[in-house]
Amino acid sequence: MKRKYVPDLTRQMAQCEANYARMLKLLPELDSRDSREFQVCWQQHQVVVRLQIEERFAYTTTVLVQQKHEGVSAWLEPPSLVVRLYHDAAMAEVICLKSRRQLAGVYGYPNRDMHHPDEKVQLNEYLGEWLSLCLSHGHHNEPVFV
């Protein structure tokens, strides 16, 4: 008999806290800046990661995280993640993909939309990997005003 998926809330919260800290390092001017782009280069790969502020409220900020790959066809377009930063809890969580409705914490399997049981966990880990890559290999170009 197959066991039902049970989320590890401690692990999920730790991932969201780490993503929040990474996001603040990448967007130190969170209250005054609307976007920032990072050019990430490793081996022969080059990707642009854009962090775009979508909404600002007293206790939350919503950020759209997009990747742009040079020379990749449209059918391989990477997902755009909508991330909610909870400032009072110091957590950042992927709430949905740009093209979908809000994600559930757990999905039954199989399901009509073919979501993985732990899809939200996987997307938060994916976000963490991209934010870490921006911190370790990313460069951003700032305009110089004379």
Residues 6+ apart with CB under 8 A from 71: none
Residue with tokens 């990430």: 40
Give pLDDT, residue 122: 86
CB distance 70 to 49 below 8 Å: no
HSE-up of 47 (CA within 13 Å, CB side)?
Answer: 19
Sorting pLDDT into bands at 50, 70 and 90, what band is 104? low
pLDDT of residue 15 exceeding 80, the answer is yes
Report pLDDT digits (tens) over 24-65. 999 998 888 899 998 888 777 788 899 999 999 999 999 999
Q: Who wins on pLDDT, 114 or 45?
A: 45
Beta bridge partners of 44: none
Give pLDDT, residue 70: 65
How far apart (Å, rounded) are the C-alpha atoms in residues 51 and 61?
12
Give pLDDT, residue 79: 77
For residue 57, CA distances in Å to 63, 87, 135 come to 12, 10, 26
φ and ψ at 145, to 5 degrees?
A: -105, 125
pLDDT of residue 82 exceeding 90, the answer is yes
How far apart (Å, rounded) are the C-alpha atoms in residues 48 and 71?
12
Q: Who wins on pLDDT, 129 or 71?
A: 129
Q: Who wins on pLDDT, 141 or 131?
A: 131
Mean pLDDT calculated for residue range 121-132: 92
